[in-house]
Structure 1
């Protein structure tokens, strides 16, 4: 089984490699190719990947290249984890919207649109080249904004599934609170990428050698809120009272909507997250250069993306081994949320197998949440149109449609700023 990682020069890659090594029985990788235009990074991360596998007794072969076509040749699955423009572009996404009083963030609002415009054309080019080399290969997208990027891939007919670590992060945290195995925690997770709520948490079965019985179970969300509400709220940086009033656990990204003005004040008062990550990356690359290092360093835990390796292994295994396992993924709506278009991309539990991801039936989404989901879905449709076809008018329409913007003068100003800060990445600008 061959896997290719596009964006293999990311400082996060050793976390992914560690997951492949630890979970070899779930995903028996025999060959792994890291692909990245930054050869200087690959020359550090590639040898480290080999050492990590060797330390854990994994027999898989590791290679690396800046030649995309050669790297994906023969791959059964291609994982996308790229960042067009690097941390410098992310820093721009997180700063210039603040000048207009809007959240500066790489997946939400104007910054998120900027990232989509830079990313979608590049990802589609990669996917088309993968399709030419390996028509049957699966594409697992972890590249943000995952919802828009996955919709672009699926609209173009690619064999793709989008992946985010928000759900698995909640699963792991809730399991810890409950003193249960993660596999015993089943989430009623619903919404769009980075716009989701946990409407229920069931404790099911008994994990063991024979697997976990996912049927039935006991609803434990009220217990979690009663016993651990303060800790959950602190982690989300939202009021405990909000969780009690909603009766759900929103993802951290809802904070950009529910506490927008407060978040803007906080962002203006400190360096961007991109600047923080850039420093972490600099220190990580120094560590990776040590030929004695043969495990992921502790510092990597501050880089972000917790549990991505576990989620990526489980999803890729389900696709390639046709397990039918239920996982939270980004995939086509297909009537799952009837108030959304069929071709919208939603983030919900789905049965995953050789034919892709099939969303499980959902209870009707409460109006308090459905209204926001519908509005952001409309924005994402317009954002994809702008990414595919370009033009100032399309950018303006997407910004005007976004619930965090929605004013003519503001959208005009943000349109000009977005184009000015991303001109080198926009073929039409």
Structure 2
């Protein structure tokens, strides 16, 4: 018997129950780990899968494939203190059960489900607690997870939180539309990463995202991009930076090209510009008039603040660390402590995405410990622009000598 779960409490509870029922389960925390262990197993192999396990779309496809090869039972542990949603759609498997918190009832339900699992689904009536298609209650619980695992997957932005996943769905819908788009946020966010996500959702990165510096914004160059995109039949997306980085010439060219696209029957080039609400006072002379025209024609996409994305922060921490260590394996830091992740999540109201990444980058570069702690975060945090500059200079000189030469 193989059992897939990443939850320690579930593992402890099921280990005791299954041993009492005469089974010796082999536990796995990931689909890839279980896949290796199943090599050479026969069709009588029994697999229990925790429906709250977080998996990717490709891993879900692997589990669906297993239905034809092995006997699979999906389960959800009923915990009144838990607020987590199902991450694997409940109707993925023919049999799914809810395991109650009461030990004796849980054992009885497992016993009935395991007995049913060995009958190759010949029984037409399921024992209490075991459900077959259609499983309306579990399907409703899994609706959010179903959307997330089957509908859209991200490549560049973290979408663990409901707010960021809603953004992903908005980007997906917008990626099929034409014209100009304004990424609008209340704070400094990852505008370019979001533009890259938009490009991926638009053309699967068959055409790279064009990054155009404001000083290079010219209507004739933009028109050439449009003609090339139309010829190749692949949408081309152009990210032109933030509105407060534009000068009057760039803003004028941007407005002209937006008008040009609106007059085409089927334009293939799209403009993407980032805008931080409240930076209008930073516009250069002559820009405001052109921006007013652009805002009236462009489609606006609201970007959530980091304070609305607590679930994204642990993944941002781990990805930042892994990317830095890939380039600089000599760094002392090997891991980010759970306490540090919790602290950053609690302090998220004081951070933007870019500030969070800068703090992580500086702390990882300057810490002398294997595990990044709350103390490291506090020591290498930013209190002002001078501190930020000094920390980044120290990080560059100590651990990133190549970047210090630029």
TM-score when normalising by structure 2: 0.31
Return the index of the structure with the highest Cα Rg.
Answer: 2
TM-score when normalising by structure 1: 0.30
Highest relative contact order (Cα 8 Å, sep 6+), 1 or 2? 1
